Amino acid sequence: MATLRRAVTYIPWLVSVISGASLQRIAEPFGYNPTKVGFYIYVPDALVPHPPVLVDPHWCHGDANAAFRGSQFATLADKYGFIVIYPDSPNTADKCWDVSSRETLTHNGGGDSLGIASMVRWTLDKYGGDKGRVFATGVSSGAMMTNVLMGSYPDMFAAGSAFAGVPFGCFAAPGNNSGVYGYWNDACATGKVSHTAEEWKAIVEAAYPGYSGWRPKLQIFHGTADEVLSYNNYNEAVKEWTAVLGLSTTPSSVTEDTPAKGWTKSVYGPDSWFEAYSAAGVPHNIQVQEDTVMKFFDLACKGDGCFKWGKGGLHSKCRRSRN
């Protein structure tokens, strides 16, 4: 099935229905990629100078092509001139991401997250991309990987957006998890993994010992009726990321019916550095909210007035300037 789907990638007329450019597979060496993650990239015909880079990891049983076709981000890339990386899981058993190994949960430690980080570095270099505007978004396993990337590579990402995922480290294989790449953590999936905010903070900080630089901002979305990844993970993620970012666990604002009816948006801290959207009655198959993501990343903005939050204006005292 994976072979069949991958073959579809090479039919130019099919992808050209979506946009002018096409999804390309990068076959050449692009940096250290110990678990052999597949590298697919969408480079629109018209790039802005120093283009931003968005990483969009697929869900379990999905692949790069499914992620490419499954959201509007490629179309939005055409419109706004940014690049999208669609990594492809090397785990042929279920196509879930490695979010369980010691390696992936460690900065430059290996695992799937390092393969993806190598893709980002290669892309920034090849296209003269903006190092200060690298983002990740994904659904389900792709949301788990988004959390992993924010924790293992905080220096690389400006922001993340995760739909129906779990907190960084929640899927870690128990005991010595070195080399345990394809572990399905049932306890986490069913909502039985719970930590204090301080414990979660320690888990994230252990990914990159001694690091005290920039931390990406993050938004999470979770349906209260999620039957695959328990909604308990929403509250655990709130504890985790507010602690890591030094924010109060009491929201600074709560808005009902945003961005959809029955979805409640909670903002933490004074400048939306962490946002959590609780979607009432929504199952695991949650609808990606591209507009909300684009706005959070400031990706629909062109020109000099953009992305002030990421260039050391806000939080410049405690977060490294990304110029």
Ligand X SMILES: *[C@@H]1O[C@H](CO)[C@@H](O)[C@H](O)[C@H]1NC(C)=O
Alpha carbon separation from 311 to 50, 131, 306 (Å, rounded): 14, 11, 10
- The nearer residue to ligand X, 3 or 176, going by C-beta atoms, is 176
> Dihedrals φ, ψ of 201, to 5°?
-60, -45
Nearest to 188 by CA among 245, 152, 249, 237: 237
- The nearer residue to ligand X, 127 or 183, going by C-beta atoms, is 183
Helix (H, G, I), strand (E, B) or coil at 180: coil
In angstroms, what is the minimal distance from the CB of 171 to ligand X? 18
In angstroms, what is the minimal distance from the CB of 180 to ligand X? 9
- The nearer residue to ligand X, 178 or 285, going by C-beta atoms, is 178
Site residues for ligand X per CB under 6 A = 176, 178-179
Q: Tell me the sheet residues that pair with 311.
A: none
In angstroms, what is the minimal distance from the CB of 93 to ligand X? 20
Q: Tell me the sheet residues that pair with 38.
A: 88
In angstroms, what is the minimal distance from the CB of 249 to ligand X? 33
95 φψ region: left (φ > 0), alpha (ψ -120 to 50), beta (else):
left
Q: What is the DSSP string of 245-292?
A: HT--SS-SEEESS-SSTTEEEEEETTTTSEEEEEETT--SSPPP-HHH
Residue reference for tokens 């597979």: 25
- The nearer residue to ligand X, 35 or 266, going by C-beta atoms, is 35
Distance CA 158, CA 133 (A): 6
Helix (H, G, I), strand (E, B) or coil at 22: coil
Active site residues: 140
Q: Do 165 and 144 contact (CB within 8 A), yes or no?
A: yes
- The nearer residue to ligand X, 103 or 275, going by C-beta atoms, is 103
In angstroms, what is the minimal distance from the CB of 109 to ligand X? 12
